[in-house]
A and B are shown apart, each in its own frame.
Chain A
Amino acid sequence: MKISKLYIGLLGVALVAPFVMYPVLLMKILCFALFACAFNLLLGFVGLLSFGHAVFLGTGGYVTGYLMMNTGLTPELGILGGTVAAALLGAIYGKLSVKREGIYFAMVTLALAQLMFFVFLQAPFTGGEDGMQGIPRGYLFGLIDLSDNLNMYYFVLAVFLFGFWLINRTVHSPFGQVLKAIRENEPRATSLGYNVNDYKWVAFIISAALSGLAGSTKTLVFQLASLTDVHWHMSGEVVLMTLLGGMGTIFGPLVGAAAVVGLQNFLSGGELGNYVHIIMGLIFIVCVLAFRGGIVGEIQKIVKRNFG
């Protein structure tokens, strides 16, 4: 009951937000929030730290960008194409990486992601260092003009809500129950007869697909697909968002993404613009040393202690 009130309240805020704040910033937050939520599905609920998740964000973005520029597809199909491409790449990369554990898993995902980084750098259709620019947003279902920021915002919000719902459902599904068991005690899950690698693989694909969805949507928002999205900096940033917000919580990545994107936006405008990376680094250190649960994790602890 309390939770559903919270959801309705947040939805209300999301609906009126573009009249108070700049819609493009809000869309950026939503795209990164979806990306972080997808990443958190692996880190928080399976215990797998991928260090190459940017590759799925970027692949979704490039494929959608290519489709929108060259085929004249409607935006929802362009996004679907980008998502499917990320899912396929996730299926291959997942198969190769879920056999490894801990730091080895992180290293394998990083290496595989770097591989694609060079593909996108060299391939003729990506525009190399320049990226793809001036990607048209098009007409949703051929009807609604997305070049209007307000229309675009509600479309992005709908995409985000779908992704958020799917992650939430996955976490609270029979499948999610097995994932939690694997995270808690992998050998025991095996001894109960579960092929743990298969479960990790499916989780990896879902996470990759939703990261691709986030990247595809982001490409339409900024009408740009660039190397920034496949760079390992981006993989690091999503780790920061998730940890800062609170890994393994439903709302943590959303809060973390909003905090990081908001802060970057705020700092880049002022005199501190040159120090963005240093400030983000400091925040990361403080977070890891002082409040491991992240923002949402710590709030949950306080609520539990005082009202639970």
Chain B
Amino acid sequence: MSADYVLETQNLIKEFKGFTAVDDVSLKIQRGHIHALIGPNGAGKTTVFNLLTKFLTPTSGKILFNGNDITSMKSAAIARRGVVRSFQISAVFPHLSVLENVRVALQRKEGNSFHFWKSDKVLNRLDDRAVELLESVGLGDFAGAKTVDLSYGRKRALEIATTLALEPELMLLDEPTQGMGHEDVDVVADLIKRVSKDRTILMVEHNLHVVSKLADQITVLQRGAVLTEGDYESVSADPRVQEAYLGVAADEVQA
């Protein structure tokens, strides 16, 4: 019944001491879609992400992944199931090399991550696959570089390569183009488009240009609750959305 939907939330609520950050949010993420979560600052987008990946525990409500209830699972377990997230601040391992960043992700499935008596040379057999992934995001030439020396845009690309290494069924991207110059924005947007083939992506994004280009489906959040849903045309035409973004009454905008 829910085969069409990779991820579903049912009446998700998160309260912080008297303040409801996420208020009765029911999302349905269709398989193969790029689904964007937008809304003004403080609308609860990142909180929703934290709930979905259990970095926060919901006050009430349910999270279903492929129809299975994952509400009570731990963060790392959810990641192993195939829901892998990125972070608003670029999530890389700055003092590892670019190649090692991807390899740490590939390493998990090897089952030797507790083997402290083995040489890390056993990881070298993952190098080819890691380089392949780096090439797929245009970082093939940077494999040996120290991650901290990369430009911001390249760090985000590396983050995507690392996430792809886990072959996630669902990727959650938290503001992938935040803080970038417009050239980098287009590069990353193209990259997301490319990697979205055969997988589902849920992204929080402020840049409406990127959203219009990528998203198949958009959910607008305001003050923690779902304001409206639909494709870009219908959502951007909605007077309530314009009001939420511009802070003025809809009829004033039209006038």
Contacts and interface: CB of A to CB of B under 8 A. Distances in A.
Interface of A: 166, 169-170, 172-178, 180-181, 184-185, 187-196, 198-199, 202, 206
Contacts of B77: 193
A173 B115 contact: yes
Contacts of A176: 116, 120
A178 B103 CA distance: 10
A191 B53 contact: yes
Given A174-B113, A178-B113, A198-B114, 20 more contacts: A169-B116, A169-B117, A170-B116, A170-B117, A173-B120, A175-B114, A177-B123, A178-B107, A180-B93, A184-B93, A184-B95, A185-B91, A188-B87, A188-B92, A191-B75, A191-B87, A192-B79, A199-B113, A199-B114, A206-B116
Contact of B76 (A169, A172, A175, A193): A193
Given A188-B93, A195-B74, A177 B79 contact: no
B227 interface: no
B179 interface: no
B164 to A, nearest CB: 12
Contacts of B114: 175, 198-199, 202
B91 A196 contact: no
Contacts of A174: 107, 110, 112-113, 115, 118, 120, 122-123
The secondary structure that dominates the A interface is: helix
Interface residues of B, number: 38
A199 B166 CA distance: 19
Interface string B191-208: 000000000000000000
Contacts of A187: 55, 87, 91
A192 B81 CA distance: 11
Most B CB contacts (10 A, CB to CB) among A169, A177, A189, A198 go to A177
Most B CB contacts (10 A, CB to CB) among A175, A188, A189, A199 go to A188
B94 interface: yes
B195 to A, nearest CB: 17
Contact of A181 (B75, B96, B122, B166): B96
Contacts of A194: 76, 108, 113
Contacts of B94: 184-185
Contacts of B105: 192
Contact of B85 (A170, A191, A196): A191
Nearest to A174: B112
A228 B95 CA distance: 38
Contacts of B107: 174, 177-178
A37 B222 CA distance: 53
A185 B148 CA distance: 13
Nearest to B111: A174
Contacts of B95: 180, 184
A206 B93 CA distance: 24
Contacts, number: 100
Contacts of A189: 104
B76 A177 contact: no
A207 B100 CA distance: 25
B213 interface: no
B219 interface: no
Contacts of A190: 55, 75-76, 79
A25 B80 CA distance: 51
B84 interface: yes
Contacts of A172: 119-120
B162 interface: yes
Contacts of B74: 195
Nearest to A182: B93
A192 B108 contact: yes
B127 to A, nearest CB: 13
Nearest to A180: B96
Nearest to A198: B114
B104 A181 contact: yes
A191 B94 CA distance: 16
Nearest to B78: A193
Interface string B57-101: 000000000000000001111011000111100011111100010
Contacts of B103: 177
A206 to B, nearest CB: 7
22 contacts: A169-B116, A172-B119, A172-B120, A173-B118, A173-B119, A174-B112, A174-B113, A174-B123, A175-B116, A177-B107, A180-B95, A181-B93, A185-B94, A187-B91, A188-B93, A191-B53, A191-B75, A191-B87, A193-B77, A193-B79, A193-B108, A198-B114
B116 A192 contact: no
B162 A192 contact: yes
Contact of A191 (B79, B113, B118): B79
Interface in B1-35: none
Interface string B127-166: 0000000000000000000000000000000000010001
A173 B116 contact: yes
